[in-house]
Every structure is written in structure tokens, then in C-alpha cells.
Amino acid sequence: MTKLREGMDLKAYMGIYTAVHNFCTSQKAVSFPLQSHVIGSSQRGAHLLGEDLYKKLTEYLSEHLLTLVEESRTHTDEALLAFYTREWQRYTTAAKYIDNMFSYLNRHWVKREIDEGKKTVYDVYTLHLVQWRDVLFAKISEKVMAAVLKLVEKQRNGETIEHNQIKQVVSSFVSLGLDDGNSSKTTLDVYRYHFERPFLEATKVFYQNESNQFVAENSVVEYMKKAEARLNEEEERVKLYLHPEIAIPLKKACNQVLIADHSAILRDEFQVLLDNDREEDMARMYNLLSRIPDGLDPLRTKFETHVRNAGLEAVAKVASDADKLEPKVYVDALLEIHTQYQGLVKRAFKDEPEFTRSLDNACREFVNRNEVCKSGSNKSPELLAKYTDVLLRKSNTGVEDAELENTLVQIMTVFKYIEDKDVFQKFYSRMLARRLVHSNSSSDDAETSMISKLKEACGFEYTNKLQRMFQDMQISKDLNAGFREHVQTLGTKGLDSSYSILGTGFWPLTAPGTNFNPPEEVAADCERFSRFYKNKHEGRKLTWLWQLCKGEVKANYVKNPKMPYTFQVSCYQMAILLLFNEKDKNTYEEIASATQLNNDALDPSLGILLKAKVLNLEGATKVGPGATFALNYDFKSKKLRVNLNVGMKSETKQEEAETNKTIEEDRKLLLQSAIVRIMKARKRMKHQQLVSETINQIRARFVPKVSDIKKCIEILLDKEYLERLDDDDIGYLA
């Protein structure tokens, strides 16, 4: 065997293989000192011969390895690594050949010994590894590992190294992980204790020293770049020459010394980065702090506060006068902040759910509680509804369908943060009603798209009435077509009119607040339509909403016009103007008597006609009793179609006040129905539990005040829907 280091040819190999076989199967034990132990069986002799051969091989390996230990003392650092890896390569290669030569020993004697439970017997290849571990490795492993760590440190300091040596050292440490309890199993215990443990310790010490010095001499941003580079290097190092098992503990160790130990200064810098829009550096900080437990929590808190303040500042800039604030300006200010920081969350914070939640919390705050909202808690939903109305009206010309759809999507972004969604619904439904009644919608598709979005956000119940309003308009179209055919069959000449039949329960409209005597021609046409409608639908009652009616009249009286003007007027204005067909001047009292309008309706209508200079005021300085109104024959306008049907600011304010009043009334009813619903299901509840449950059920529509809920409970107690029980309990009365 002493010639094994010099190699052998096939003849020598086969000779040894045969000798091992013959030795193990020999019946002659005469010259063998263990002969006295033979107990009448040739197998026992073979057993003893196998044991002797196994011992001889063990002794030979031990002697060979001891010479290597002596030789290793002459090497240090990289020379030692070269020596170790070279000898390991030669040794394991030889072990494979010897294992094959001793295959008979493995199959018989070794197998039998292992089967009998001998823990100190291994197959020949494993024996080689055990001997290497116990004889050579035990004596030089620390020295080898010190050389590995020196080499790694050189690489970390920017020098080029031969990393293949380290890879082979790692491989040898792994191969030596033999389970002494079961020779067929391997573990990573040797590798973990002799390689991974010191490697991680050395890594920590290296980066602790380097990071402390770097932080003292450089800015936080520069340190983040350095830390990022170092972490990438370590990940690459695992791929190049380390064992995959070290990846997680190495990452953990590096995260601790490079990030966690310096997390305080990183977090302190975050506000500076936010204030200066340093997106790339924020992304770098996010990537670093996301690697440690709870590393991002303080960042999310600072981010939320920053976005909320940015939103409040943006609103404060445009909110010098909340009453005169343009809805578009207000909504654009909200959207600008949301878009800016949503982009930051997406690009720098990888759309992380917790950062998105912080953004949502901040937006909810500055949308619902800002400078504008101080003048009325319902201002945000009201202004959003008004902006939507501007977008969906015909006056919003020059806007492409795709652009309009995109703006509606943005509207829904703000809507998502609105807490008082019932306020938006009230204002939106009133404005939609006006657009539909006055045929003033820019596009039916856009209207339908908006309602679909609201339905998706809030459910069927939220948009049920809005959809029914659309259905009523379609039914009205069919009715008008039928009415025109009916008029033609009668052979009578009527007005060019159209009627909208609006279901009382679905339209947010009220009966007119004044008596009205419509012009003769209009009254006759309305009567004709009433008879037609009642023939189709018996038992239904029509209430005429004169305040919403409008029409067109030709102005043939004006001097020297190229073409007669067409006045677009309300029904009230039409009734006033038609009086001037009979005479050029009418007193205030005559107009009031003929039209039957009260002051609240008559004065604004006359005011608009005076402002447009269709009429002139005589004998008074303002509209009212004693004033006389004369037709202005010198009326001039750049447009042939003159719109006189414009709303007054006082009317708008009055409508807003009415809307807010209805909101409060509806809220009381919603709260009461929610309380009854809860109690019907639960039968008995603690007062406080009932309040909490009611808030949970209602908060999707608006955030109720506890005091309002308590008032509603009292109302229901008085109405005997509920009763007081012992221990502050409330009971349900069927």
C-alpha cells in the first residue's frame, strides 16, 4: 500500500483486489495470531481475517495522515490552503479507488459488523473520511480556517483572490460531517462548527469596524450606498464559493451589523429625504430597513404624518375663501398630493401594503379634516359632487371620452377617502336629476360609467335610485313618442313639447313652493298630455314641477335684427314675457296677478330679465311693488340664442341648505333602522355594545356621532320599539 501515492496500473489494481478477496475468504489461519479464537466455523475465520485487514488499513491511513500533519507545519496562509486542498483532493481520489479494491470487505465483513450494531466500523471510503477528520483535521482545522478568513478579508478589502481554494475547503468541511451513530448518514455539524461559526464571527467583526468608521466620516446617504454594496457582495460570495446553507445566517449577521446597529441614524435621515423628494435614496433606505424585523414601522409613521401635512398645506393654499372655492381647484389639490405620494409608494416602497395603508390613512385625514371642512364638515363630498357635475355637463366641451373616463377614475380615488358618502350621494343625485331633466348630460355613457363606479364602491343600494332615474327618462322618451302620435291622430296643433315622468320615490325633487298660472298655450298642451297619460295609467297623480320647466320663445319685436333672437327661458320667465305680447309695459302687480307667482319666485325671474336688458325698469329702483317693466326694443346680443334660464346664487344656497337638512333627517332614519335591525337579530344588548355595533354598520355611509346614536335610541325607546332592562341592557320589543 505504500506505493499508492505514486499511483498504479490496472494489473497492480487487479492484483490487490484479488489479494483482498483471497485474504478475506482464506480458510488457512495457521500463521494468524487470532487462530485460537476460531470456533469450528470457516466463516468465523474469515470474520477474523477481515477484522485484521480493516485494522491494518486503519493504521496505514493514520500513519499517512500524521506525516501530512507534520508537513502542514511548514506552510501558512495561502500556501497552507494550497497544501490542504491538494492533499484533500489526492486523498479522496485514492479513497474511491481503495474503496473499490476493498469492495469484498465492504460487502461482507463490514456489512456484517454494521448490521450487528458496531458503531466504530465504517465502509472503506467513510473510514478514510473518519481518519482524515480524527487524525489530520482535528489538528490543523483552526489554522486552515484562519487562512480562509485572511483570504476572505483580502477580498473584502478589494484584492483579487483564488476563491476556488476556499470552495474546496468548504467542500471538505461538509464531507467530514459524518453521523457517528449511523455511518450511512451525513450532517453539517463539522461544517457549521469549524467553518460557519468562525466565518460569521469574523464577518461581524469586520463590518462592525468598517461601518462604525465609515459612518463617522461620511453622510448617511453615502453609508447606505456602501451598506447596499457590501450586502450585494456577500450574496455574490455565497454563490461563488460558500455553502448555500450559510446564506440565511450570513444575511442575518450582515443585516444586524450593517443595518440594525445603525437603524437610528437611517430613520432620522428619512424625514430629510422626504422633505427633499430624494426618491432614489428613499428606495435604498426602504430596501435596507426592510431586511430587519420592524425596521420600517417608524418610516411608515413619519410618511403618514408627512403626507397628511402636505395635503393640509395644499388645501390651505387654495382655500382662502371656502365659499368661493372652485370645486375643480379643490379636487385637483387633493389629487395632486395623492398622485405624488402614490407614485412614491409604488416606485420607492414597492407598493408595500403597509405603506399603502399609511398613505390611505393620511389621505383620509386631509380629505375629511382640512381648512375647507372647517366651514362645514360636508364640504369635501359636496365639492367633489359639484366637480363631477361640471365634468358630466354639456358645458364641459372639448374633453375626449378617454380623458373624461380617466378623470372619473380620479374622482373615485378621492371618493374612496370620503367618510360622509351619504352627503356625496345627496348632492350627486340632485345634480344628476337636473342634468337629466334639462337634457344637459355630456354623455349617457359617461353617466352610466360613473354610476357603475359608485355601485362597485358602495353597492346596489347606494345607486338604486340613480339607476331608477335613468329608467324613468327612458320611459319618458317612449311616452313622448306615443303622445306625438296621439296628437297627430287628433289633428290638433300643439306645442313642440316633451314631458318627463319622474317617480316620486326616486327623484330628489320637491313640489314648487308657489302657485303658478301657466300661459294659455302651455296649460292646454299640459292638459292634453295629462288626459293621454291617465288613459294609460289609471289612478296615478301628476304633480307639475313648474320650477324645472323650461322652453324657448322667439323675439320678433327687436328692431333691425338680421334674424330674430331665441330666448331660452324658465317656465316662469316664459309666462312673464308672453304678457308683453298684449302690451309693452306691465306693472309688478299685474305680472304677479297674471302668473300667480309669489315674491320668492317672481323677483329672481324678473331680476334676470332686467340684468339681460330684455326688460327695462321704470318708476322704481328695484324689483317689487310699484315697479313698472317695459319691453326693451333696443335689445342686443352677440348670440342669436340667448340663455336667460340661469340660477341665482341665492337659489343655489337655498338648495344647499335644503340638501344638508335632508341629509340630517335621512341620517336619523338610517341610524334608527340600523338600531332596530341589530336589536331584532340580537334581542338583548348592552347599551355600549349597541352603540359600537351601530357605528360599525353605518360607517360605510358616514361616521355617526355617538350623541346622535344615543338620541335615536331614546326615540326608539319612546316609540316602544325598544325597552330598558336590568344592568344597562336594552331589549327588543316585537
- pLDDT band at residue 181 using 50, 70 and 90 as cut-offs: low
Start-to-end Cα distance in the chain? 103
Rounded-to-10 torsion of CA 189, 146, 83, 177 = 0
Q: Which amino acid is at 164?
A: N
Q: Please provide residue 129's backbone torsions phi and psi, each rounded to the nearest 5 degrees.
A: -65, -40
Beta partners for residue 615, in sequence order: 631
Mean per-residue pLDDT for 148-164?
89
CA dihedral in degrees (90, 93, 94, 98; nearest 10)? 170
State the cell numbers at 168.
Answer: 474546496
**721-725: average pLDDT:** 84
pTM over 0.85: no
Most confident stretch, 396-405, 545-554, 696-705? 545-554
Mean pLDDT over 684-699 rounds to: 85
Give the pLDDT confidence of 243-274 residue by residue, as tens digits: 888 999 999 999 999 999 999 999 999 999 99
pLDDT for res 341: 96
Q: Which three cell numbers stand for residue 173?
A: 468541511
> What's the confidence (pLDDT) of residue 32?
36
Contact 174, 106 (CB under 8 A): no
For helices 220-241 and 138-156, give the axis angle rounded to 10 degrees: 140
Is residue 717 over pLDDT 90?
A: no
User: Considering only CA atoms, which of 8, 15, 13, 43 is closest in space to residue 29?
Assistant: 43
Q: How far apart are CA 237 and CA 224, in angstroms?
A: 20
Measure the CA–CA gap between 447 and 65, rounded to whole angstroms.
89
Distance CA 587, CA 725 (A): 69
Residues with Cβ within 8 Å of 467's Cβ and at least 6 positions away in sequence, in order, are 451
Question: pLDDT value at position 416?
Answer: 94
| pLDDT tens digits, one per residue of 490-533 | 777 767 888 888 888 888 888 888 899 999 888 888 988 888 88
**How sure is the predictor about 46, in pLDDT bands with cuts at 50, 70 and 90?**
very low
Least reliable range by pLDDT among 40-54, 496-510, 545-559: 40-54
Please check the confidence at residue 33 and state whether its pLDDT lies above 60: no
Pairing of strands 722-724, 729-732: antiparallel
Of all residues in the chain, the percent with pLDDT exceeding 90 is 30
Q: Which three cell numbers stand for residue 297?
A: 414601522
The DSSP bridge partners found for residue 628 are 587, 618
Burial class (CB in 10 A: 0-12, 13-18, 19+), 717: middle
Per-residue pLDDT tens digits for 401-434: 788 899 999 999 999 999 888 889 889 999 999 8
Residue 185: its pLDDT value, please?
60
Select from 643, 578, 581 the least CA-distant residue to 612: 643
Residue that is written with C-alpha cell 480493516 in the block: 54
> Is the pLDDT assigned to residue 11 strictly greater than 70?
yes
- CA dist., res. 555 & res. 545, Å (int): 26
| Mean pLDDT lowest among 204-208, 308-312, 445-449 | 445-449
Measured between alpha carbons, how far is 517 from 547 in angstroms, rounded to an integer? 12
How far, in Å, CA of 285 to CA of 358, rounded?
17
The pLDDT of residue 655: 65
Q: Where are the beta strands (DSSP E) in 347-481?
A: none
Break the chain into its structural domains and give their ranges: 4-139, 549-647, 653-732
Q: How far apart are CA 566 and CA 719, in angstroms?
A: 58
Which CATH architecture is the domain 4-139 placed in? Up-down Bundle (1.20)
130 Cβ neighbours under 8 A, 6+ residues apart: 122, 178
Question: HEC profile for 649-707?
Answer: HHHHHHHHHHHHHHHHHHHHHHHHHHHHHHHHHHCEEEHHHHHHHHHHHHCCCCCCCHH
CB 175 within 8 A of CB 129: yes
Task: Centre a 10 Å sphere on the Cβ of residue 176 and count the other Cβ atoms it contains.
Answer: 21
Closest by CA to 384, choosing from 326, 347, 331, is 331
Beta bridge pairs of residue 631: 615
Mean pLDDT of 591-618: 89
In angstroms, the CA 146 to CA 195 distance is 10
CA 263 centroid distance within chain: 26
Q: Does domain 549-647 sit in CATH 2.60.40.1220?
A: no
Report whether CATH 1.10.10.10 matches the domain 653-732. Answer: yes
C-alpha cell at position 564: 330674430
Q: Give residue-wise pLDDT tens across range 54-80.
A: 888 888 888 898 989 888 888 888 899
Q: How confident is the model at residue 28 (pLDDT cuts 50, 70, 90)?
A: very low
Residue in 214, 349, 336 with CA at minimum distance from that of residue 274: 349
Per-residue pLDDT at 179? 67
Number of H helices and E strands in the chain, helices first, is: 29, 9
pLDDT tens readout for residues 322-332: 667 889 999 99
Pairing relationship of beta strands 565-570 and 641-643 according to DSSP bridges: parallel
How many Å apart are CA 540 and CA 67, to the nearest integer? 116
User: To the nearest whole number, what is the mean pLDDT of the chain?
Assistant: 85
> DSSP letter at 242?
S
Sign of CA dihedral 489, 492, 495, 500: negative
